[in-house]
Structure formats: C-alpha cells, structure tokens
C-alpha cells in the first residue's frame, strides 16, 4: 500500500520556521511509529510571487489536488502590500480553498490548563474550554457577485454580495452535525436571520438538515452578534458552532483569543471525499506570517504542530497518534516550556522555536 501523501507549503514569514518543527514530528512518526508519508514541498504566497509572478502556480495547484492533504504555514507580509489585489499572497490561499472546494473550516478553541491565565477572561471562564467553530469557507460575502469598487455619480461605492445556496448551507451543516456526534452532540448555528435574507435561509436549511438527518443532535440557533457576546460571557456553553464565512471569520478569531494566544490554534479546511474516501483537506495554523519576528527564533510552532495532529486525525485515520501529539504538547506546556508569546508573570522556561519543537519530540519519546 502506498504511503499517504502530504504537500507542505510553508509560505512566508514564520511559516518555514514553524513548519521545520512539524517536519521533525513527521520524521519521528516514521522512525518511532512506522508511519511514513510521501512528502513534497512547494511555494505559496509571497515567496511564490517572488519566484513565479503569481501567489500560486497551476502546477502547485495540481499537486494540491492530487495529494491526500496539504499542510500550509502562513502567507503575506508588508513587502507585498502594494501588489495588485489579484496577485497578493492571500489570493494563493483563497485559490487553494476555492478550487479544492474546501467548504468546511474547523477551528478548535481549546484552553490548556497551563495557559488558562493567559486569556483576557477570568480563569474560571476559560479553564477547560474545548469548542470548535465550523465556518463555511467557499461562499458567502467573500465570493458573492457582484463585487468591486464602482463609480456612482461623483463618488465611489464598494460592493460585496452575501450569497448562499441551499446546498452550500446544507453541506456545511452536515459537517457540523457529524463533528458534534463525535464530541458532545450539540450544535449552535449562528446567523443574522433578524436582518438578512441569507440568514433566514441559513436558519431554515440548518433546521431542515437537522430534522431530516440528525434529530439526535441538540440544535440551537443564535444571532451572530449575540453569539459574540456569549463567547465572551460563558464560552463553555458551546460545543460546535456552525456559521457562515464572514461571521465565522470574526467569531473564530474571537474564540482564538479566549485561549490566550493565536500561536496555539490549529485549523482544518475539509472538502468532499476523494476516490480513496479521504476528504480533500488543507491544514494551517490560525496565526499569520508575523513578519516582525521572522528569522528570530521567537515563533511558536505549536499551532502548526497541532494542525498536523488534525491531519493525522481527519485525513489519515490516525486518531491515536493525533492524541499522542496533542498530549505531548499539553505535557510540554504543563512543564512550563514557553516560547516568547507564552511568557507570563509566572515565568517559565524560555525556549526558541526549534527548542519548543525538540521539547515536543522529547515528550513524544516519553509517551512510548
């Protein structure tokens, strides 16, 4: 049987630095667990523009379509701010999501006990937090037409269109319900049905999918602005939240900071199953390219490491190994090992990006 295939697109800024630590774990998986991957690498984002004049070449896109999973680091940076919108680094990521039809974005927000004091909320509010936001990723206001900046009379007007079909809503709803069945069997759907027709349709379709196929899952509905407030008030009331592209973008960043650091949070973007039954998938840390600390060994690789753990679970059916990686991260944090973003008043052992990766490897060794 062929080894599972993985395309690494480290990207820009701290992307290559955090991805180097994931490569250590991939190597460890082969050496210590007998799990080998066929790994290829390519360019995306600003580095691809520098090399090829485009943030994503057709050849790289074809590779992404062919592999079992894509692991991405980060894209962008101020160097590329003046580029035309069509070739900005972020367009490479958006093309990957769109052409791979990665419609379901899973963003866990988990607060490790060792980091509960890092949240801006009270410790008792976030300690033990473990929720997932399922964001629709390939439609909605970021893709709807018409869009653009137009001249009307003597002034300009910016237009973006919020557009959803029933099938687009239904498939991301199913993704959320399926995930909930593996967790605490509870979904909260968020929209703005009080003021938006697309929100009315969203609520109706999610309810229809629930009633027809998932009556065993507890479903509630909430306006997205109230959802934002509730995430700050008592986030542990939620388990799985499903929402559209725009609200999911905002709410998942809010949920990210409940845990204390963007450097801790992974994500998975999943599509329809391929011929081998695995979903098309792209995994990436939530954080950006952090050009201000690039090359300084200050980047936290944990989000990228946990993104690889998600790949083990969702793309490669290696749930036991995914849990092993997650537990290793938890052990390292409990031992007080800290990259710069995790150094708080209580102190800890300061480490570089590479040293954090080595600490995770040591914890993995100890787990055998």
Q: Which residues are catalytic?
A: 142, 192, 225, 249, 253
Nearest by Cα to 15 from 218, 247, 208, 301: 301
DSSP class of residue 39 equals: E
For 10, other C-beta atoms within 10 Å of its C-beta total 26
Tokens at residue 260, please?
A: 């204390």
Query: In angstroms, what CA-CA distances link 345 with 120, 277, 338?
Result: 14, 48, 12
3-state secondary structure of 45: coil
| Displacement of CA 357 from its chain's centroid (Å) | 20
CA angle 91, 133, 137 (to 5 degrees): 30
The DSSP string of 210-231 is HHHH-TTSEEEEEEHHHHHHHH
| Residue 40, φ and ψ in degrees, nearest 5 | -125, 160
Residue closest to 207 by CA, chosen among 193, 228, 194, 227: 193
Task: Name the packing angle between helices 353-367 and 319-334 (round to 10°).
Answer: 120
How far apart (Å, rounded) are the C-alpha atoms in residues 222 and 210? 15
Task: Judge residue 130's burial from the number of C-beta atoms within 10 Å of its C-beta, 0-12 exposed, 13-18 middle, 19 or more buried.
Answer: middle
């Amino acid at each position: 049987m062929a080894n599972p295939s993985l395309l690494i697109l480290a990207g820009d800024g701290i992307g290559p630095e955090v991805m180097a630590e994931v490569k250590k774990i991939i190597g460890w998986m082969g050496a210590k667990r007998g799990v080998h991957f066929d790994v290829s690498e390519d360019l995306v984002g600003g580095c691809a523009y520098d090399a090829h004049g485009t943030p994503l070449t057709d050849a790289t896109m074809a590779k992404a379509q062919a592999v079992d999973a894509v692991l991405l680091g980060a894209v962008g940076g101020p160097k590329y701010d003046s580029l035309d919108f069509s070739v900005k680094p972020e367009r490479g990521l958006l093309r990957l999501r769109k052409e791979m039809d990665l419609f379901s974005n899973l963003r866990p927000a988990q607060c490790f006990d060792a980091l509960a004091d890092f949240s801006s909320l009270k410790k008792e509010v976030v300690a033990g937090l473990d929720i997932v936001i399922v964001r629709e990723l390939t439609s909605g206001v970021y893709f709807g037409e018409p869009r653009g900046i137009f001249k009307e009379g003597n002034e300009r007007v910016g237009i973006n269109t919020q557009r959803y079909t029933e099938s687009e809503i239904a498939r991301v709803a199913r993704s959320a319900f399926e995930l909930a069945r593996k967790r605490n069997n509870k979904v909260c759907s968020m929209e703005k049905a009080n003021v938006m027709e697309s929100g009315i349709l969203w609520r109706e379709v999610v309810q229809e999918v629930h009633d027809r196929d998932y009556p065993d899952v507890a479903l509630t509905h909430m306006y997205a602005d109230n959802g934002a407030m509730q995430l700050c008030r008592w986030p542990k009331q939620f388990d799985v939240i499903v929402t559209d592209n725009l609200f999911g973008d905002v709410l998942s960043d809010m949920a990210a900071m409940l845990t204390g650091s963007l450097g801790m949070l992974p994500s998975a973007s999943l599509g329809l199953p391929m011929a081998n039954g695995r979903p098309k998938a792209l995994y990436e840390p939530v954080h950006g390219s952090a050009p201000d600390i690039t090359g300084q060994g200050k980047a936290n690789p944990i989000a990228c490491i946990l993104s690889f753990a998600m790949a083990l679970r969702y793309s490669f059916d290696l749930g036991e190994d995914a849990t092993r990686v997650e537990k290793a991260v938890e052990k390292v944090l409990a031992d007080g090992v800290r990259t710069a973003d995790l150094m708080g008043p209580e102190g800890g052992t300061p480490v570089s990006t590479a040293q954090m990766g080595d600490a995770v490897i040591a914890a993995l060794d100890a787990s055998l």
